[in-house]
Chains A and B, each alone.
Chain A
Amino acid sequence: MNLSDYKDVYVFAEQRDGKIQNVALELLGKARELADANNEKVVAMLLGKNIKDKAQELIAAGADKVLVVDHDLLETYLTEPYTEAITQIIKEQKPSIMLIGATTIGRDLGPRVSARNITGLTADATKLEISDDEAHEFRMTRPAFGGNLMATILCKNNRPQMSTVRPGVMQKLPAAPSRKGEVVDYKVTFDEKKISRVKIVKTVKEKKTVTDISAAKILVSGGRGVGSKEGFTKLEALAKELGGEVSSSRAMVDAGVMPADRQVGQTGKTVRPALYMACGISGAIQHLAGMEESEYIIAINKDKFAPIFSVADLGIVGDLHKIVPMLTERLKAMQK
């Protein structure tokens, strides 16, 4: 393998039901920065059926080129057709770097692609950079040991250097709709027998409107101290006043009080809002791992020894059941 044959930063442009996922746009923002450091291009891989019209959105977000792989078998994500399509792209186009969003799709696809192509994959990177020495090496940094340690990973001799990144970690570029780029109709071939080994019987969307808490600028989050659905209505009222969303610790999701898509933490979502209000959350390390990068953290907890106070910018030892409604009223009054 001649490493110098490998160029450019490729981004898997995840789409669902024809809608480009935010994480893909965030990764294009980062890819732009990485490509510019090496005077290389950003190439988006858009897999699906009848999705060519979405290519411009990817160019507006930073892609120089979009490879559109339009095929019946790619309409809904399945491991084998997607892995095979990307593998063919890798073999033919020889990307140096490949970024994939760490979603349920990305975490299924990334490792399969890396194994098929015998290359390295760094999962859940929080920082991606090109070193500014003459080596210009691609460095991927990720939390390890439950978030207690950070590790910077290299993939020196294999290509592409792959990394998955969680939604909400990287930042989108401001959209430039008039930006120009190349759109390529890319052809791939499939082994029908292999493709059919997994069948989708049905897909069910949960009835409630899904909120992407990782996109929210303000989160009012509740834990065991909130305790119940009634408790959470107080948080909802506050979130409404602040123009934010409600999120939850794992405890309340496990207890069935809040749905899994609102869970913040190591096994939930990573969030980096401008404001994170932790109400009745003790601050277990797995929770902190999901929110401690928030710009400003306010914690309200009755227990003055709660670990959440170690990451809070402003800590209040008190009863959230009194403070939260009072704060909501105060904000309402201020609006008038």
Chain B
Amino acid sequence: MPDTTEVKINPVTGTLIREGVPSIMNPDDKGGLEFALQLKDQYGAHVTVITMGLPQAEAILREALAMGVDRAILLTDRKLGGADTLATSSAIAGALRTMDFDLVITGRQAIDGDTAQVGPQIAEHLDLPQVSYMEDLKYDEATKTFTIRKQLEDGYQILEMQAPCVVTALASAVKPRYMSVSGIVTAWDKEVEVWGADRINVPEDRIGKAGSPTSVFKAFPKQLKPAGETFEVTPEEAVELIVNKLKEKHII
């Protein structure tokens, strides 16, 4: 019997302005999606993609459908807006609670929020075991056990978890597939389910701005360093320049 895999694609929401920014699938989530699709290739897993965001996030879901996922859900509602990662993870966990699944895969971090939090927080809300920094994943259908290779700074670990559980995927560990031409041609043939806050059964004080313990005090562009100098010189002159600077800075 094929198991069910869910891929949660990291949200497009955050604490900053989102209107008019075209959604792109963030590279870490694409990695997670690739792992899910490999499980589909190997074990016939059913893959569902969920993303929480503004209506334009549908574009990412079409991409995911073109890559080969079976079901796509867009969680979108004004009430969910202004959410930080805790509120976002609560909302997504609310959606997941209504579904049957064996595995939730999330990306390690989003390039916009850069927080790497939503996956483990979802796991906590669902009271499920988690492993993060997943590089590789195998499944034993008989025992419903996942064997995961986790990246460490100085090596790796092999861990085992039983379904249902949560992993955050390491994008660099896998090369995401391109959408296939037939996937693209048929991407609009499937329905993208649109879910609102009413479907997820999460108390209002746990979603949106109300459910966000963190808030942005201010956002500002990075301060620019004073400009340095660039020289087009011969190698000999380059060495002179460098050595003099290193002496000046007391590095040598």
Contact = CB atoms under 8 A, between A and B. Distances in A.
Nearest to B127: A194
B144 to A, nearest CB: 13
Given A107-B116, A299-B230, 17 more contacts: A104-B150, A111-B121, A115-B86, A116-B124, A123-B114, A144-B113, A146-B114, A152-B220, A153-B217, A154-B217, A197-B165, A206-B156, A266-B111, A267-B171, A298-B245, A312-B230, A315-B228
Interface of B: 14-16, 84-86, 89, 109, 111-121, 123-125, 129-133, 147, 150-162, 165, 171-172, 212-222, 225, 227-236, 238-239, 241-243, 245-246, 249, 251-252
Interface in A225-277: 242, 250, 253-254, 260-261, 266-267, 274-275
A311 interface: yes
A327 interface: yes
A151 B162 contact: no
Which size bracket describes the interface of A in this complex? Answer: 35 or more
Interface of A: 79-80, 83, 103-104, 107-108, 110-112, 114-116, 118-124, 139, 142-158, 197-206, 210, 218, 242, 250, 253-254, 260-261, 266-267, 274-275, 292, 296-300, 304, 309-319, 322-323, 326-327, 330-331, 334
A58 B241 CA distance: 43
A139 B217 contact: yes
Contacts of B236: 326
B157 to A, nearest CB: 5
Given A104-B153, A110-B117, A317-B231, A300 B238 contact: yes
A125 B231 CA distance: 35
Nearest to B247: A334
Q: Which of A143, A202, A203, A312: most chain B Cβ within 10 A?
A: A203
Interface SS of chain B? mixed
Nearest to B21: A145
Interface SS of chain A? mixed
A108 B133 contact: yes
A274 B221 contact: no
Contact of B153 (A116, A210, A322): A210
A296 B249 CA distance: 9
Contact of A143 (B89, B114, B150, B241): B114
5 contacts: A150-B222, A152-B219, A304-B230, A318-B233, A326-B235
A297 B228 contact: yes
A151 B84 CA distance: 13
Contacts of A114: 86, 117, 121
A121 B117 contact: yes
B177 to A, nearest CB: 17
Nearest to B129: A197
A206 B121 contact: no
B115 A124 contact: yes
A292 to B, nearest CB: 8
A198 B162 CA distance: 8
Contacts of B118: 111
B231 A315 contact: yes
A208 B246 CA distance: 31
Q: Which of B119, B133, B172: most chain A Cβ within 10 A?
A: B172
Contacts of B228: 297, 309, 311-315
B130 A119 contact: no
A326 B240 CA distance: 10
A199 B98 CA distance: 28
B239 to A, nearest CB: 5
